[in-house]
A and B are shown apart, each in its own frame.
Chain A
C-alpha cells in the first residue's frame, strides 16, 4: 500500500518570503498522480496544485510550484511571496493510476504566515 509522509508538522514564514513544504511517498507504481491540498480553518480542502508522475516538468500555479523528484519519491511545495491568506494546513496526497483508487493523504503541515 502507498504511504505519504510529511515530516514537518509545523512551519512558519514571514509575509512576502518563500517557504518549502516537504512530502515523500512510498510506492511501487511507475505512474501515479500527486496533489497538494490546502485546508484553511473553514475546513474545506482546496486543491493547490497537481502533478502527473509521467511528466518531468514541475507543475506551477501562480505563486505555487512543486519540486518533483521521482527517483527520490519526493514532492515538495514551494510557496513564493507568501500571503497571510496562505496560512492553513497543507496536505500532500497520492493517487494510483488504477481506476477507482482512492487518494492517500499525508498527516499535514500547519503553515503560519507572520506579518
Chain B
C-alpha cells in the first residue's frame, strides 16, 4: 500500500480480554517495528521483524504480549489478559530493510491504534 495502515484506529476493551492489533506495512518493506506510546511520552520499542522472523523482541514487557508476521507482510500484535496499564497508542512502522545504510533505514509510521482497557 501507499502507507502503513493500522487497524483498529481505536479499541476499547475490558480488563482481562484478548486484543489483536493489525499492521499492514508499505509494500516491499521487509522490516516492521512495533512501538508503544503512553500519554505524553516517546515511543517505546516492543519488537521488530525482518521478514517473517522476530529479530528482536526484547521490548515486549511480558509474556502476555506476542506478535506474528507469518507471510512477511502484515503483522498482528496480540495482547492476552489485558490490564489497565496496557492502555496506550500502539504504533507500527516499516522500513525498506533493517540495514543501517542511509537510504534504507528511515521509519515510516502508521497512525497507531489507541487501546483503552477499562
Q: Which residues of A contact B (CB under 8 A)?
A: 4, 6, 33, 35, 37, 42-47, 50, 52, 91, 95-108
Contact = CB atoms under 8 A, between A and B. Distances in A.
A108 B91 CA distance: 15
A105 B91 CA distance: 13
Contacts of A37: 107, 109
B60 interface: no
A102 B56 contact: yes
Contact of B43 (A6, A46, A91): A91
Contacts of B106: 35, 47, 50
Interface string B1-25: 0000000000000000000000000
A101 B100 contact: yes
A103 B94 CA distance: 12
A45 B42 contact: no
Contacts of A96: 100
Interface residues of B, number: 30
B102 A102 contact: no
Given A98-B100, A100-B98, A45 B109 contact: yes
A100 B55 contact: yes
25 contacts: A35-B106, A37-B109, A43-B89, A43-B91, A43-B111, A43-B112, A43-B114, A44-B110, A44-B111, A45-B43, A45-B93, A45-B107, A91-B43, A96-B100, A100-B31, A100-B48, A100-B55, A103-B43, A103-B45, A104-B45, A105-B35, A107-B41, A107-B42, A108-B41, A108-B42
